[in-house]
Amino acid sequence: MPQRAVERLPRLGLLLLCAAYLLPGVFGRDPWKNADITAYGYMTSLLRGESGWLHPSIAGLPGDGSVLPYWIGAAAMALLSPLGLDPALAARIPFALLLAATMALVWYATLHLARTEAAQPVAFAFGGEAHPVDYARAIADGALLALIAPLGLLQLGHETTPELVQLAATAVMLYGLAASPYRPWHARLAVLLAPMLMAASGAATTGLLLALAGMLISLRSSYADARRLVPWLLAGAVLEVATATVLQAWIWRLQAPEDPGGTLQLLLWFTWPIGPMAAWTLWRWRRQLLKRHLSVPLAVLLIALAASLGMGGSDRALMLALPALAIMAAFALPTLRRSVSAAIDWFSVFFFSASALTIWIIYLSMHTGVPAQPAINIARLAPGFVPVFQPLALALAAAGTLAWLALVRWRTGRHRQALWKSLVLPAGGVALGWLLLMTLWLPVLDYARSYRPMVTQLARHLPEGGCLVAPGFSRSQLAALEVHGHWTLSRDPRRLECRWMVLDHHERIGTPETRQRSPQVPGWTLQARVRRPTDRDEVILIYRRAS
């Protein structure tokens, strides 16, 4: 590895790329279904004093053992809403900071792992090889780009859900294990904190497994400071067990995957392109799998994969594997052939350029009617949506597109020897696509993914401030009524003070005599039927107590 291959990625460009990835999706939208609005509903319930802080609930329906994320969101709303910020934006800000912290922790964890002797490249006979610190920094830059590149982190990483706290806690554990030979006290604090964060955010078992795996890796380490980390990992595990017990967070969600083929497809698209690169790392470094630069991320990866499979192929549990996958993908960079790098570059250029062009064409169709077919399709899929022109969104999207064109020209014209070159275009393309979606398409996506249009229709038939019974509603639907409505919610139809009731009903649109097929509820009279605009098979039936 020559010195010219480990040149630094320009810091201003890296920061702008991270900002283009991190900030879109934070501003200008409602909480989306399902997990996003559910978590926000628990935060709102805490803020209004409608449930206890140790036992968050929505309309009496308890949570899933994740209290810390709801505390964070409610505290942010209490602090920032009086300053004029929208409550949803106020709740989203600390979670955006958690994603930023995850990105920084992955960079520093990779830096320390790449500094170990086993991870360093072979020295040249007459000098000129890469400086160890420069090499480690280049690998860390590649890991940060690799964390941005996968598609699985896009939406899930921009929500206000407990899994984002779990993701940050996983990155904290990775950093603690990686930094122990170089930053012993930082590492000790990290391994004490990470398991407790996992327990308080609903992943107690995963946090305990991470602590046990860290003890095993540290015990057999050749670094004395890493071996001294074992008691601190043990203390972290004990604190984690105590935290989970106090918060009643020992919740098992075990279930077998219903469709193994679908789970495999999820694994492929969710982790693309860093999943194949991590597999290549395992093959090319197969004789050094027990060295800490591979054993640390590999242990975290296996635990996250086991958790995802044990939960029936959960994509949210699989998200915890992305920091470890990013680190492993970065160690594939020194071994990639020039032809493979060129294939990644050309695929990224064509795929993301075509995606950006498609987004722009549909945006123009929405606002100008040319071409006509995309606008017709949107009117059919989102009836009632009226496009709103937003000059700032258009300017940001245009700037992002020009930056992508400049990045493609910069990548193809310079820096052909840089170690991180193969991940610049995949990361930049993902950031471009997300930026365009969260600017040009944000109004229609918000209309389709938010429950606000449905609640607005319900409010036309229900008295404001009344008591509303919603038996059989899911957590996300209850949270939508809690957040967007102004009613007192209950799930018990026997509460006589509640004069109105809503039922969730599914039917095929266009079937005859739909009103006659509505369920008859003794003691209640059907008053209205409300269809969700973007899900025409979902009907909310509104009843009034007969006596």
Query: Average pLDDT for residues 531-538, to the nearest whole number?
Result: 78
How many domains is the chain partitioned into structurally? 3
- Which residue, 335, 359, 383, sits at the end of a domain? 335
Q: Are residues 218 and 121 in the same domain?
A: yes
Give the residue among 58, 67, 2 at the shortest CA–CA distance from 34: 58
325 shares a domain with 217? yes
User: Could you tell me if residue 426 is inside a domain?
Assistant: yes
Mean pLDDT of the chain: 91
Residues 6+ apart with CB under 8 A from 194: 169, 170, 172, 173, 176, 207, 210, 211, 236
pLDDT, tens digit, 9 for 90 and up, residues 340-371:
888 898 999 999 999 999 999 999 999 999 99
Distance CA 5, CA 3 (A): 5
Inside any domain, residue 437: yes
Whether the CB-CB separation of 462 and 500 falls below 8 Å is answered with yes
CA distance 214 to 191: 9
Q: Where does a domain end: 449, 474, 502? A: 449
Measured N-to-C along each axis, helices 87-114 and 162-179 cross at an angle, to the nearest 10 degrees, of: 20
Q: Which domain holds residue 375?
A: 338-449
Helix (H) or strand (E) holding 39: helix 35-47
Residue 186's Cβ-count burial label (10 Å; 0-12, 13-18, 19+) is middle
Choose the most confident range, by mean pLDDT, from 121-130, 255-264, 331-340: 331-340
Q: What is the CA radius of gyration of the chain?
A: 25
pLDDT tens digits for 87-145? 999 999 999 999 999 999 999 999 999 999 898 887 775 666 788 899 999 999 999 99
- Is residue 65 a contact partner of residue 202, using CB atoms and an 8 Å limit? yes
Residue 31 is encoded by which pair of tokens? 């909480």
Same domain as 291, residue 278? yes
Beta-carbon contacts of 352 under 8 Å, excluding residues fewer than 6 positions away, are 404, 425, 428, 429, 430, 432, 433
Same domain for 119 and 258? yes
| pLDDT tens digit sequence for 405-453 | 999 988 877 556 788 888 999 999 999 999 999 999 999 999 999 999 9
Q: Which two tokens stand for residue 184?
A: 């012993």
Q: pTM of the predicted model, to two decimals?
A: 0.94
Tokens read off for 185: 């006290």
Do 490 and 386 share a domain, yes or no?
A: no
Contact between 168 and 98 (Cβ < 8 Å): yes
On whether residue 207 sits in a domain, the answer given is yes
* 524-529 mean pLDDT: 90
Least Cα distance to 230 among 200, 192, 282 occurs for: 192
| Two structure tokens written together for 163 | 């899994």
pLDDT of residue 514: 46
> Residue 34 class from Cβ within 10 Å (0-12 exposed, 13-18 middle, 19+ buried)?
middle
State the chain's maximal CA–CA distance in angstroms. Answer: 95
Q: How confident is the model at residue 508 (pLDDT cuts 50, 70, 90)?
A: low
Q: What pLDDT is stored for residue 122 in this prediction?
A: 78
Last residue of a domain, one of 449, 470, 504: 449
**What is the signed CA dihedral for 182, 184, 188, 193, rounded to 10 degrees?**
-40
Q: Is residue 66 part of a domain?
A: no
How confident is the model at residue 267, as a pLDDT? Answer: 92
